Structure 1
């Protein structure tokens, strides 16, 4: 049978089960009426481990009450010896020294309850006869009854007050009923309940609650136990027998620790202690519990301290098997261990791979960054993880690189795509990349993109050097096969012409001497061309050492060679800048010789050439800028990007060597600077050209060379 510790057996047939906190009254007419109700009332309390107190008065006094209990209750003497019941005359409880003190009596009931609970009883069941009560004390006693009615719901207590019907008027009966939850009275020889509509509905609700409670306990998959204040099992649900194999009668009165695995007892005892102290409010404890067959079962228990709560007054323990969960947890742990092992392997594979590897999320935020990528970029992983991917790309190629990356969101992957990576120190490395997208379980939601690269900076440098060597070879071949060959043919023709004149005239006179002068000029061009080729070759092989040069003085020295050019009206102006020291070598003279020669060669008539030297600051660096401008015929805008290039063989029929401005650019770049060309007059190239040479100031040149 399932016992609800909140619902108690009243022992009174017409009443049935009642909850703790019940306060009701009985109107009797005879001594037998009292005995017929009170004896089964107290017998039920004794049998249900309740502490009982019976306050007697006429017409059923102490001696007779005790005698009738001995007759009706088996082993009543044991209950007396155990101290589970007290039968007290009214003048030793209600009236002391002829005075009724309601406060003393109320306090006395609470003390009786506390004592009973401390001794392991479930609660207090009491009854007091009011036959002794006189009219003079009627109102005080009603106040006392009302106080009980207002507070009894807080306690594990049931109170039955008995009134002699013959000593009560109609008004008295109404007063008594109003201070109790309900009343009992005999009508036509049967006991009837006197209760209001609200009380009937409350009783019905109580019965329904009990039915639900029974159903809950009967069908619960969990083991539900209640422990008393001493830690003994006073209630065990039917599921205990179903799960553990023990009938409820076997566990009642025993300690739950008797069924715990020896290795887990200390843990369970500690957890129970916390529940008793109200410092553990539902925290689960896992342990092993012994079944009736001797096997142990993995379970999880939670405890709630409900000591002092009417209807429970104990520790409620809910226990459920977790064998299946433990098995699943073990499998999950094994799976997690394998996953961790795989993760460690992958972490090592990524971190220590020779190839740079990087991972970013759909927001283009870096999430992984291996050591090879640290080497290629100069950044440590913790410097870039969480940062935008764009920080790794040079500004000049950032947009193009990000556009290629965005294409991966469309399901594309890279195959041998070259992407520049900007090193922390500002230099640029070239990496050959491939990438793949990582999707969620739905195969549609993008989780991350992983890219693996190969540092091909050295390869690209070697390719560039090879291309430059190829261009140099083509240059030399072009010069030999075309420029020098043409000059050779011109000289042969001039020599043959001179020989014919000598053979016919015997001498070269007047205009005929122009042939020799032309021959001399052609030989001089060939010599300069060969000299320039040698200079380029030495520049490429690093044979020229750099040193500190006074740029202003070097330009003045170059200008001194153009003070008198026969047959040309040339005006030179020069604005120097003192202290203009650069790091270069004497080949710097050829830069300005070629620029001035270029202006002279491509002009006719009066020519004005201006040279201006100034110190400027560009992008935080100091340069000396030399502006060489002329009022010649100028350079068309579409040709400006071509004039510094050496024409490849077969690409042009342009007359001349085409080496002067190529030499200018090569030399200036070798000194750490750069050169550009503009129109002398903005928007009109026909008004002449303006060449700008930028050379780092000597401090900047030193820094750039380090």
Structure 2
């Protein structure tokens, strides 16, 4: 059964509506954050209680020593040292020598540890004679001893202990081995710094000269010595400087650890040799982690994850198994109890450590969800509007086709009765004209003129309706041939007005030849019609290539148009001048615009009254036939 901490952790669940990232999902982390987290993890995880009032807590990797006079001095330091190690679930190794034998050490420790026999039996603590550790072959082998320490440290990790706590007495050391042992102390210091180890070496003051004491102190972090009835710490000036810098760094990172807004938890990795699984023990958590999870650190520290987390729970999934690659990973989770979203980053600050960084991302997540909802709503509305526009456009196309069809049918059906009216009125004039007075002849003339004007209007309406309904397929059209045909069609008015129609070399364009002829003829005819009374009409046609389109211009020296009418002239039945002055029905330019639209072009005008006008229109250089 999980502990009470498990019930609190069960407040977390997988984030609803989110795709859970795979266990090996790599995270691109901010390098500064990662480095700070690693250092912070190092500080908060390595401080171990020595059990000794002086020095108190020390980081893993500390190698220090004790100078003693009597066996009681040894017991005074080493017994609380190992009692604390056993309580903190550390693997302990005590290497004895005179004046304290193995039996003396066991007896001294038993007085403080009730279940010492159990700890000896399960191997959490070993108490060995120096010959068993330093000289199993009868001589001191530096390399073998160093390897022995490394093997013990690995064994501690493999068996799930927090680390290795050791002490060794050097009373056995002979003078001829002194230099080798000092070299060994230097080498062992480097080994200890790489593992979760605390090492306390003990030296007899009676067997050390003043110079040798200095040499010993220089090879350890500090030394403990009993003076004036109390234990004191001595260290070299250089070591004191390093110690001060380290203490400042530790204080800074401890303050950072306690003050950051992100929750932080550090674990020791505990491999299981039986089934190759991993477990994780909580080494440190900061106040933010307590606040986010609702669990006090006293409930977590020293406990395995499996003791406080339900394996079915989503948060349990952040802990990798033995086969998972050791790389940073990223998760998101949701806590229904607190209605908060959290982001979790996991990484490995050391070979045997696993860290979790927990961030409250509720505000960001809710903003993201609101944005997604707004985007979805906007997309839905856009789709609805688009559907309405498509429907309206289809209705408009259908309506236009119906209107064009109606205009075509109406215009076509009106032509025949109108021709009959004109024919019979003209027949009436020929047969009975000599019997009519002048007033009657005037009426007959008005009837014929009005009927002919109506015929022209109906023909133009019919032409407008036929632009899309009865248009021809597109084919290459030589524009210069079109101009020549227009000149032939307008030969009579050109001669009458002495108009000069000129043009530059013109291209071949894809289009409806009949309709393009209507465009050029209407524009040229208008240029002649709206001429200035005292000037000969001058009309010039140009074409210029512009980005896959031809830009045509038809320039004249006519009466011109004021700018406020530039758009109005293309509207059907819109006239700028009275019919008696300039005959017409107001359909011609509307017809031209529809033809240009069908050819996927545009038409517009620039003009100056009293100077002339220029009509521009574009035609694509290539295009498919219109549908």
8 A contact 2:152–2:164 mirrored in 1: yes
Alignment match, 2:279: 231
5+ long unaligned stretches in structure 1:
290-294, 355-369, 378-453, 470-479, 494-522, 547-576, 600-608, 628-633, 653-657, 674-702
Alignment of 1:408-487 (within 5 A): none
Q: Which has the larger radius of gyration?
A: 1
In 2, the alpha carbon distance for the partners of 1:256 and 1:71 equals 33
Q: Residue 67 of structure 2: which of 18, 23, 27 is its match?
A: 27
Alignment match, 1:630: none
1:382-408 deviation per Cα after TM superposition (whole angstroms, max 9, x unaligned): xxxxxxxxxxxxxxxxxxxxxxxxxxx
Alignment of 1:609-688 (within 5 A): 617=506, 620=509, 636-637=534-535, 641=558, 648=578
What is the total number of aligned residue pairs between the two structures? 458
Alignment match, 2:386: 351
Instruction: Report the 3-state secondary structure (helix = DSSP H, G, I; strand = E; otherwise coil) of the residue aligned with 1:132.
Output: coil
Instruction: Report the 3-state secondary structure (helix = DSSP H, G, I; strand = E; otherwise coil) of the residue aligned with 2:330.
Output: coil
Instruction: Report the 3-state secondary structure (helix = DSSP H, G, I; strand = E; otherwise coil) of the residue aligned with 1:176.
Output: helix
8 A contact 1:149–1:181 mirrored in 2: no
| Residue 212 of structure 1: how far off its partner (Å) | 6.8
Q: Residue 85 of structure 2: which of 28, 45, 48 is its match?
A: 45
Alignment of 1:97-176 (within 5 A): 97-176=137-216
Q: Residue 213 of structure 1: which of 254, 261, 268 is its match?
A: 254
Instruction: Report the 3-state secondary structure (helix = DSSP H, G, I; strand = E; otherwise coil) of the residue aligned with 2:95.
Output: strand
| Residue 613 of structure 1: how far off its partner (Å) | 12
Alignment match, 1:315: 354
Counterparts in 2 of 1:47 and 1:371: CA distance versus 1, 3 Å: same
In 2, the alpha carbon distance for the partners of 1:220 and 1:610 equals 88
TM (normalized to structure 2)? 0.56
Alignment match, 2:568: none
| Residue 86 of structure 1: how far off its partner (Å) | 0.9
8 A contact 1:278–1:305 mirrored in 2: no
Instruction: Report the 3-state secondary structure (helix = DSSP H, G, I; strand = E; otherwise coil) of the residue aligned with 1:77.
Output: helix
Alignment of 1:549-588 (within 5 A): none
| Residue 268 of structure 1: how far off its partner (Å) | 3.4
Alignment match, 1:393: none
2:381 maps to 1:340: no
In 2, the alpha carbon distance for the partners of 1:376 and 1:185 equals 103
| Residue 336 of structure 1: how far off its partner (Å) | 5.5
2:59 maps to 1:10: no
| Residue 213 of structure 1: how far off its partner (Å) | 3.0
Task: Work out which structure has the larger RCO, using CA pairs closer than 8 Å and 6 or more positions apart in sequence.
Answer: 2
| Residue 56 of structure 1: how far off its partner (Å) | 1.5
Instruction: Report the 3-state secondary structure (helix = DSSP H, G, I; strand = E; otherwise coil) of the residue aligned with 1:125.
Output: strand
Instruction: Report the 3-state secondary structure (helix = DSSP H, G, I; strand = E; otherwise coil) of the residue aligned with 2:126.
Output: strand
| Residue 36 of structure 1: how far off its partner (Å) | 2.2
Computed over aligned residues only, the root mean square deviation of the Cα atoms, in angstroms, reads 6.1
TM (normalized to structure 1)? 0.50
Counterparts in 2 of 1:154 and 1:641: CA distance versus 1, 3 Å: same
Alignment of 1:201-600 (within 5 A): 201-204=241-244, 209=250, 213=254, 216-217=257-258, 222=263, 224=265, 226=267, 228-229=269-270, 231=279, 233-235=281-283, 237=285, 251=300, 255-256=304-305, 264-265=312-313, 267-273=314-320, 277=324, 279=326, 281=328, 283-286=330-333, 300=342, 302=344, 304-306=346-348, 308=350, 314-317=353-356, 329=366, 333=369, 337=373, 340-341=376-377, 343-344=379-380, 346-353=381-388, 538-542=455-459, 592=491, 598=496
| Residue 162 of structure 1: how far off its partner (Å) | 1.6
Alignment match, 1:94: 134
Alignment match, 2:221: 181
- Higher strand proportion: 1
In 1, the alpha carbon distance for the partners of 2:357 and 2:501 equals 97
Alignment match, 1:552: none
Alignment match, 2:122: 82
In 1, the alpha carbon distance for the partners of 2:174 and 2:483 equals 129
